[in-house]
Amino acid sequence: MSAALKQRLVEAMSRMPVIDAHEHLPAEGDRTGRQVDVFTLFGHYTHQDLISAGMTREQYDWTQDPKQDLDERWQVLEPFYLRTRHTSYTRAARLAAQHFYGLDIGRETYAEITARMQAANTAGIYRRVLADACNIRVALTQNGTVRDDQTHELLVPVLPLSSVSHCAAPGGLRATAERLGLELSGLDDADAVMEAVVAEHRKAGNVGYKHTSTDLLEPTGAELAREFAAMLRGFEYNARVLSDGLAHRSMDVVGAAGLPIAVHCGMIWNNWNDFYERHPKWMIPTALAHRGTRFDLYHAGIPWIRVTGNMAKELPNCWLNMCWCHIISQRYSVSALDEWLDLVPVSKIIGFGGDYCRPVEKIYGHLVMAREDIAEALAGRIDRGIMSFADALEAARMMLFDNARELYRLKV
């Protein structure tokens, strides 16, 4: 593959608008109202590599406490940083520090990076990072809230699916019905309540919902009605049957409203987990059962990138989302993109989502890496004579902007 060709593609993509298809950004005031330092750049995900390299959770949490001495915290962090500085997680932090603060992270620079970060932690930081540095038009953000006067104009909400069915606390559906002035005397009334909730959320700017790949029960209508009636009467009920059954019904309600459901698939964001519990295969019976609902499969299903690829090929209601992927592993990501471009329509691939919380600067680093990965996959196809440069640019724009706009029906 030609390095010059890859660079041409990267430069062309840097001029394209971007839809950031997954974040956890809080209100901007939550960021600017907190004390930041170089350790902020090690927040959200980087901890996984540090702990994998031998750092204890207690040590990590202590280094994240801005009340503690900066120099002492660096002394604790440094040996683990040196072991992890070449991982994709850490590369995003280093790219962010270099771009926004003019320095790479290290023993000689951490104090000056801290000073520069603190000076820049002011109102407008979201616009400076997202719009100015990244050319991001909107960021689909999961922070559990809808739009209000405190919501930044660039943040578009995606709410938990449980906020429709209240399946995490079934009694909550009854309270919601009372608030909306709707009857809830049995299961037949539940759909109307959930439809009203979805309409309320849409009016407040919500564009989709979030679910997690899991082995849902599929109770019959009679089984669900029995447990629902027991819950309404205050009797003992099977919580899982009720929760899973309402989750299924909420998926149909959401699909009928034309909204997609994003699904966490695969790897888990912390240490000491059985990530097989989030295997994307659990979504196959769900997607088959809810053919009128569109599902956005997050994180490429890493490490099961071929499973999710086959799902998107065979299931017309499943899309592939590269959010989080490029900072998990750039090689995973290039491999997934290269295979998927053979396997599925390019219109079903969403190329980027930063997936960060308070360290907003790292979205820039992640996007740099995403452009590199997309460019490498596309350049290889140009070199093999199966795609023209113009075709590659069209595919890149679709992955970075058009596909997310169409799936989430964004007016941007």
The three-state (H, E, C) secondary structure of the chain, written as one string: CCHHHHHHHHHHHCCCCEEEEEECCCCHHHHHCCCCCHHHHHCCCHHHHHHHCCCCHHHHHHHCCCCCCHHHHHHHHHHHHHHHCCCHHHHHHHHHHHHHHCCCCCCCCHHHHHHHHHHHCCCCHHHHHHHHHCCEEEEEECCCCCCCCCCCCCEEECEECHHHHCCCCCHHHHHHHHHHCCCCCCHHHHHHHHHHHHHHHHHCCCCCEEEECCCCCCCCHHHHHHHHHHHHHCCCCCHHHHHHHHHHHHHHHHHHCCCCEEEECCCCCCCCCCHHHHCHHHHHHHHHHCCCCCEEEHHHHCCCHHHHHHHHHHCCCEEEECCCHHHHCHHHHHHHHHHHHHHCCHHHEECCCCCCCCCCCHHHHHHHHHHHHHHHHHHHHHHCCCCCHHHHHHHHHHHHHHHHHHHCCCCC
Q: Is the pLDDT of residue 170 over 80?
A: no
Residue with tokens 């600067």: 361
Angle at 394 between CA 392 and CA 398, to 5 degrees: 115
Stretch 380-396: mean pLDDT: 97
Per-residue pLDDT band for 1 (boundaries 50, 70, 90) equals: low
Chain mean pLDDT for the chain = 95
Q: Is the pLDDT of residue 395 over 80?
A: yes
pLDDT digits (tens, 9 = 90+) for 358-368: 899 999 999 99
Q: Is the pLDDT of residue 333 over 70?
A: yes
At residue 172, the pLDDT reads 87
Q: Is the pLDDT of residue 377 over 90?
A: yes
At residue 145, the pLDDT reads 81
Distance CA 117, CA 24 (A): 20
* Helix 239-256, helix 187-203: angle, nearest 10: 50
pLDDT digits (tens, 9 = 90+) for 53-108: 999 999 999 999 999 999 999 999 999 999 999 999 999 999 999 999 999 999 99
Q: Is the pLDDT of residue 143 over 90?
A: no
At residue 149, the pLDDT reads 60
Distance CA 205, CA 354 (A): 21
Burial class (CB within 10 angstroms; exposed 0-12, middle 13-18, buried 19+) of 214: middle
Stretch 277-289: mean pLDDT: 97
At residue 189, the pLDDT reads 94
Structure tokens at 111: 């104090």
* The length of the chain, given as a count of residues: 412
Q: Is the pLDDT of residue 150 over 90?
A: no
Please give the radius of gyration of the chain, using alpha carbons only, rounded to the nearest integer: 22
Per-residue pLDDT band for 270 (boundaries 50, 70, 90) equals: confident
Per-residue pLDDT band for 267 (boundaries 50, 70, 90) equals: very high
At residue 351, the pLDDT reads 98
Angle at 296 between CA 358 and CA 239, to 5 degrees: 85
- Nearest CA among 89, 111, 127, 101 for reference residue 39: 111
Looking at residue 147, its amino acid is R
Cis peptide before 303 (omega within 30 of 0): yes
Give all strands of the β-sheet with 261-264 in edge-to-edge order.
159-160, 209-212, 261-264, 295-297, 318-321, 349-350
> Do residues 253 and 194 lie in contact, with contact meaning Cβ atoms separated by under 8 Å?
yes
Tell me, yes or no, if the pTM score tops 0.85: yes
> Do residues 46 and 93 lie in contact, with contact meaning Cβ atoms separated by under 8 Å?
yes
Looking at residue 321, its amino acid is N
Q: Is the pLDDT of residue 275 over 70?
A: yes
Stretch 205-232: mean pLDDT: 95
Cα separation values, 368 from 102, 162, 356, Å: 16, 34, 15
At residue 235, the pLDDT reads 92
Q: Express as a percent the part of the chain with pLDDT over 90.
A: 92
Q: Is the pLDDT of residue 147 over 80?
A: no
- Nearest CA among 318, 313, 319, 375 for reference residue 342: 313
Lowest mean pLDDT among 119-128, 168-177, 370-379: 168-177
Q: Is the pLDDT of residue 278 over 80?
A: yes
Distance CA 269, CA 44 (A): 9
Distance CA 332, CA 326 (A): 8
